[in-house]
Chain A
Amino acid sequence: MPAELVSLLWLAVTLAGYYALKPVYRRHPRWWTSPLLLVPLLLVVLGVIFGLNYPDYIRDTHWLVLMLGPATVAFALPIWRHRRLIRENWLPLLVGVVGGSAVAMLSCWGLASLAGLDEDVRRSLLPRSITTPLAMLVSGEVGGEPDLTALFVVITGVAGIALGELTLRFLPLRSALARGALFGVGAHGAGTAKAYSVGNEEGTVSSLAMVLAGLLNVLLAPLLARLLH
């Protein structure tokens, strides 16, 4: 089969798998029913059977990844819609984003060093808590591999859906602000999708925290690169 046809087929399988498995997640929203886990699993199984060649796979599906750009722009609308919430709670939000980002970087570096991971894996892990397009940017800046970072970001997203659920169950949080911020700072877009299923206010706070944490990381990346040098 010609390579063009193969990549088109993989795109079709990705789309079909996603739309077939999405209702499952809607009915039982758990971390192990997330399309972010089930669809890649399905693709890996098919890949093992029929032989998957990554360049062939990504040739047509990279259009989907590109759509993360417009999706990032789309965050402007929920932020605008909830401007009052932001104006009234800018202090706790700021503390959560700045503090959370600092904890993310420090804990990541500490844990990765403790686990004895390679230098470039450690550097690629650093921006894993922020949204993919920004994380890949930061990764390049601090000397990581953007490709690996994208993967770590997504794993963080799936893990974050599960861990966020767990945290909410065991941590007595009074405010929707805290419930939203933990998803946005800890698990970027995937967490935000989960936060919206907890509540509208949680989802909004999460999307805002995600965007702010991402921006903070991008702005601080040159400084971080110099520190790690």
Chain B
Amino acid sequence: MKTIHFHHTTHGPSLSAMRTLHARMRLLAHRRPQAALVLQVLLLTLFWYACDAAARRLHLPLPGSVLALGLLLVLLAARVVPATSLRRGADWLLAEMLLFFIPAVMAVWQHLDLVRAEGPRILAVILVGTLIVMVSTAVMVDLVWRWQRLRREGRTHAR
């Protein structure tokens, strides 16, 4: 009941059509969370598809997914799209990301010759390389972070 009341207060007559759509999405998320999830995933997919088509058509150097990511951030910052009305769909897409990778792994089936010839060496390069990247990234970030914190503390002590 509390949520219904909340909707009435935000549902003023002066609000734009866009706002009404978001209010409807929130109502749907409240009443039928599963349907809202499907709808939000669908919306994100359509948005990606449109941006992908635009990036191709305009020969942009950026891939469509990156363009869509940037545009969505702009829309969120401009408060055109409230984050709450896409949260469920986005969280689901991110949670199931490993599933989307699986068919890509099966490409190994097409490169069995290469795997036989260079597989162990490739694996060694990936393992050692990834370890180097992880350790150096973490150390760099941690050092800058500590340096920044020391400087901030120094400044507050000076006052």
Contacts and interface: CB of A to CB of B under 8 A. Distances in A.
Interface of A: 14-15, 18, 34-36, 39-40, 43-44, 47, 52, 54, 57-58, 61-62, 64-65, 67-81, 89, 91-93, 95-96, 99-100, 103-104, 107-108, 111-112, 115-118, 121, 125, 128-129, 132-134, 137, 147-148, 150-157, 159-160, 163-164, 166-167, 171, 173-175, 177-179, 181-183, 185-187, 189-190, 193, 207, 209, 211, 214-215, 218-219, 222
27 contacts: A14-B102, A36-B101, A36-B102, A36-B105, A43-B106, A54-B106, A54-B110, A58-B106, A64-B103, A71-B96, A72-B68, A73-B65, A76-B90, A80-B76, A89-B145, A96-B140, A104-B129, A108-B125, A121-B118, A132-B104, A148-B114, A152-B122, A154-B105, A156-B126, A163-B130, A182-B138, A218-B63
Contact of A155 (B76, B126, B145): B126
A15 B134 CA distance: 31
Interface string B120-141: 0111111111111111111111
Contact of B63 (A77, A134, A154): A134
A47 B86 CA distance: 38
Contacts of B123: 155
Contacts of B45: 67, 69-70
A173 B145 CA distance: 10
A33 B36 CA distance: 31
B148 interface: yes
A151 B115 CA distance: 11
Interface residues of B, number: 73
Contacts of A68: 65, 97, 100-101
Interface of B: 41, 44-45, 47-49, 51-52, 61-66, 68-69, 72-73, 76-77, 83, 86-87, 89-91, 93-111, 114, 118, 121-142, 144-146, 148
